[in-house]
Chain A
Amino acid sequence: MTTQSRKPEWPLWEVFIRGQHGLNHRHVGSLHAPDAEAAIRHARDVYTRRNEGVSIWVVEARHIAASSPSDKGPLFEPSESKVYRHPTFYDIPDEAGPM
């Protein structure tokens, strides 16, 4: 497998699309584009061909900061024991009515 490109490649962009139903923008995939305007146009052409979206965000992939998989334990496990954050933790008698 070659590892060195001869010519500079168009940067990689991550594409986020808001679907029809007023939901959050959701990551749908990636593409290459020379700049942000072109990235939005390409995102429209590549990722909304079947009425998938009403709004597009693009961000150059190198600008995304991500958590490290090795931190998964310290980052996410502490919340597992905080069960009192969930409504089902509380036992409310039926007689109290809907809550």
Chain B
Amino acid sequence: MYAQMVTSEAADDSPEARAFQARIDAGEKIEPKDWMPEAYRRTLIRQIGQHAHSEIVGQLPEGNWITRAPTLERKAILLAKVQDEAGHGLYLYCAAETLGVSRDDLTEDLLSGRMKYSSIFNYPTLTWADMGAVGWLVDGAAIMNQVPLQRTSYGPYARAMVRICKEESFHQRQGYDIMLKMCRGTPAQKRMAQDAMNRFWYPALMMFGPSDKDSVHSAQSMAWRIKINTNDELRQKFVDETVPQAEFLGLAIPDTDLRWNEERGHYDFSEPDWTEFYDVIKGNGPCNVERMTARRKAWDDGAWVREGLLAHARKKAGKVAAE
């Protein structure tokens, strides 16, 4: 997911921690000034921060095609979508800031590699059909996780997710709409669409992270309601919803073992190559270097702008105070 493999810390067993857990169990929202276990706070910063970083780095693969969009309308739609991602990053950084960390701190942690972002954004976008595949598959996978997170225990995070989900609703549809046009188009367009499917299917499945049904971290996060479903549940749900959509497009899913399992009431499917996943996480994905270079450049090149505008604001405030 956008927050993959977030390590959660164990809760202590103090009376405060027990009372805190009781509030969460009763469905109460935790607000910034409420008492919270330090482990809850730190885990949330990691999770929300990683989610925010993913939105920001996630601008790059799609931003790669804004200047090459094939029509004025497609250009506007794509730009509006990538702009939404910047907005979503912004909402999430603000949610993290209520936990006592600054956006600049989080940014520095991303740029230094101390914090991660989703593996999916380290894959290249090579043709226009990738704009369809990213919207349909990548946003489709993200939505699986984001919709339940609207009910997460931390108030500012839940409210950010509500806003994000509301805005996201067009993202997957615009992606599918691109795929539809490609699949109903010329043979070259159809070929592009299938190629995008072939390249994005397994990376999309990896977004949910490796199986965590036996993970202690995951159990703690679920007790705190900052994780609502297991990775496997969400992955299965994604496959079950996506297969008929692919069939409608006439696209083949690159998995010869994919078939409906009547008994389970779900599709059986092949696991992605987890070695590749760990390689990408470690920095060896096809685009890790480019993505981080782009983010670092934006941050470094922008320093004089941030400082300049702040200096002007202070001068102005000084003048007003002196009057």
Contact = CB atoms under 8 A, between A and B. Distances in A.
Contacts of B316: 35
A9 B310 CA distance: 8
Given A29-B94, A49-B87, A2 B307 contact: no
B105 A2 contact: yes
Contacts of A28: 163
A86 interface: no
B66 interface: no
Interface string B36-48: 0000001001100
Contacts of A35: 312-313, 316-317
Interface stretch (B95-103, B258-266, B269-277): B95-103
Given A3-B105, A7-B303, A9-B103, A30 B313 contact: no
A10 to B, nearest CB: 6
Contacts of A51: none
Contacts of B108: 2, 5-6
B306 A30 contact: no
B91 interface: yes
A5 B102 contact: yes
A88 B255 CA distance: 63
A7 B104 contact: yes
A8 interface: yes
A46 B87 contact: yes
Tell me which of A2, A8, A12, A46 has the highest count of chain B C-beta atoms within 10 A of its own C-beta.
A2
Contacts of A49: 80, 83-84, 87
B25 interface: no
Interface stretch (B27-35, B57-65, B134-142, B200-208): B27-35
A99 interface: no
Contacts of A46: 87, 90
A97 interface: no
Nearest to B163: A29
Contacts of A5: 102, 104-105, 108
B35 A9 contact: no
Contacts of B114: 1-2
Nearest to A32: B103
A12 B109 contact: no
Contacts of A38: 309, 313
Interface string A15-40: 00000000000001111101100100
A68 B33 CA distance: 7
A69 B313 contact: no
A8 B87 contact: no
A1 B303 CA distance: 21
B12 interface: no
Nearest to A35: B313
A76 to B, nearest CB: 14
A50 interface: yes
A28 B90 CA distance: 13
A7 to B, nearest CB: 7
A2 B105 CA distance: 6
B35 A31 contact: no
Contacts of B306: 7, 10
A69 B317 contact: no
A4 B104 CA distance: 9
Contacts of B257: none
A9 B83 CA distance: 22
Given A1-B105, A30-B94, 10 more contacts: A2-B108, A31-B94, A34-B310, A34-B312, A38-B313, A49-B84, A50-B167, A69-B31, A69-B34, A69-B35
Interface of A: 1-10, 12, 28-32, 34-35, 38, 46, 49-50, 66, 68-69
Nearest 5 CB-CB pairings of A with B:
A35-B313, A34-B313, A30-B94, A34-B309, A5-B104
